[in-house]
Amino acid sequence: MTVLVHFKKQQLEGFNQQLIFQNEKFIKKEYDLDKTLLLLLTNVQEYYKQVGESTSESSVSQLKTYLDLAVSGIDPISLERVKTRRRDLVRTACFHCLSNLGNTLQHSLQTIESLLLSSSETIHQLLLSAYQSKLITDDLIKKTNSIEKCTALWEKLKVNEQVSLIDKKLKLDILQEDISILIDMAFSKLKN
Residues 85 and 140 in one domain: no
* pTM (two decimals): 0.88
Residues 108 and 119 in one domain: no
Q: Residue 37's CB: how many other CB atoms inside 10 A?
A: 26
Say how many domains are in the chain: 2
Question: Do 18 and 36 touch, CB atoms closer than 8 A?
Answer: no
Question: Do 158 and 192 touch, CB atoms closer than 8 A?
Answer: no
Domain final residue, candidates 113, 129, 156? 113
35 vs 131: CA distance, rounded Å: 55
Q: Domain of 143? A: 114-191
Domain final residue, candidates 79, 113, 147? 113
Please state, rounded to an integer, the average pLDDT across all residues of the chain: 93
Residues 130 and 148 in one domain: yes
Judge residue 83's burial from the number of C-beta atoms within 10 Å of its C-beta, 0-12 exposed, 13-18 middle, 19 or more buried: exposed
Q: What is the pLDDT of residue 15?
A: 98
94 vs 38: CA distance, rounded Å: 9
Q: What is the pLDDT of residues 87-111, one digit of tens each?
A: 999 999 999 999 999 999 999 999 9
